[in-house]
């Protein structure tokens, strides 16, 4: 059965999305259109390129995820970290992440959005310079850039550039330079994107969200400035989407709570990575037992 899919952001927790994809694939569902933010954008792009869940599992087994962080020995010094964040606006460049995505997409003949079926992939990014949410590749025309010529891997890097962790991506256009960061700043789960276009209900839209459902969502405990920052960022990235989800009754969303893992915990052991993937699969399997499609 053909469906449209939306995958949420979540950093390293996005491994659970692969497990959910595996469960959907085993049930015979095939994606026609995909959307995602951050880690969800990575998974959506790989699926759009034709990778099966089995192939994605192999890719994750082969990669040492910490190597996606453009790291070197000197950056481990605290004073260097602070200088880098202050002057470069991020601990890591994000180039290694983009190169890895680019390599995997090129293996399937995907370079730019012209190499994908029209409207088959959309990812969310945040333009800090102009204060707006971007749907890529659609909104590239606002910058005088032909969307068909834009590299998919660069769009994925924009969507996954977690503020202060990765440097912003500089988009040069006739407007000048715009600083692009993680789409999760403004919409971490863009299920609204397909729903508003799917008025005729041509296909079901299924979402995979790395969080509790709205009823089971735990209240934030704010005890210090760090807790407040975490709560602030969570509210920024989730409030808009949660308001929309509440109106949709959550009936088409697979919720995968992953509070035990940090978004930037790239040093997970192979066992923990496998556990995350299996957890995502089990949550999706439980959901599909009740899903009417």
* Residues tagged active-site: 38, 182
Q: What torsion do the CA atoms of 27, 30, 36, 42 make, to the nearest 10 degrees?
A: 90
Determine how β-strand 169-173 pairs with β-strand 253-255.
unpaired
Are 51 and 108 in contact by the 8 Å Cβ rule? The answer is yes
| Both tokens assigned to 148 | 């068909």
Q: How distant, in Å, are the alpha carbons of 63, 105, 110, 164 from that of 59? A: 6, 12, 17, 27
The DSSP bridge partners found for residue 109 are none
CB 257, CB 212: distance < 8 Å: yes
In the structure encoding, which two tokens stand for residue 146, read together? 């032909």
How is residue 175 written in tokens? Answer: 């407007």
Contact 40, 7 (CB under 8 A): yes
Q: How many residues does the chain have?
A: 293
Q: Please, are residues 159 and 134 in contact by the beta-carbon 8 Å criterion?
A: no
Q: Where are the beta strands (DSSP E) in 210-280?
A: 253-255
Token pair recorded at residue 62? 């082969």
Q: Which 3 state secondary structure label does DSSP give 36?
A: strand
């Amino acid at each position: 059965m053909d469906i449209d899919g939306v995958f949420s952001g979540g950093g390293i927790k996005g491994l659970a999305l692969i497990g959910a994809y595996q469960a959907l694939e085993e049930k015979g569902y095939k994606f026609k259109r995909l959307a995602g933010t951050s880690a969800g954008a990575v998974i959506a792009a790989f699926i759009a390129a034709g990778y099966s869940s089995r192939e994605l599992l192999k890719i994750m087994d082969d990669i040492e995820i910490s190597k996606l962080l453009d790291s070197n020995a000197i950056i481990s010094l605290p004073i260097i970290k602070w200088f880098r964040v202050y002057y470069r606006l991020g601990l890591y460049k994000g180039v290694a992440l983009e190169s890895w995505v680019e390599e995997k997409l090129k293996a399937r003949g995907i370079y730019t959005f012209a190499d994908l079926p029209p409207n088959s992939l959309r990812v969310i990014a945040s333009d800090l310079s102009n204060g707006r949410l971007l749907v890529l590749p659609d909104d590239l025309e606002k910058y005088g850039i032909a969307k068909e010529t834009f590299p998919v891997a660069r769009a994925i890097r924009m969507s996954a550039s977690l503020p202060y962790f990765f440097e912003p991506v500089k988009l040069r256009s006739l407007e000048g330079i715009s600083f692009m960061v993680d789409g999760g700043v403004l919409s971490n789960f863009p299920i609204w994107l397909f729903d508003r276009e799917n008025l005729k209900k041509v296909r079901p839209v299924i979402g995979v969200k790395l969080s509790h459902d709205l009823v089971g969502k735990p209240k934030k405990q704010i005890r210090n400035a760090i807790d407040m920052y975490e709560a602030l960022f969570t509210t920024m990235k989730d409030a808009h989407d949660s308001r929309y989800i509440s109106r949709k009754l959550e009936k088409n969303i697979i919720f995968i709570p992953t509070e035990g893992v940090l978004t930037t915990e790239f040093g997970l052991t192979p066992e923990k990575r496998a556990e995350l993937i299996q957890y995502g699969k089990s949550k999706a399997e439980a959901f599909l037992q009740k899903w009417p499609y």
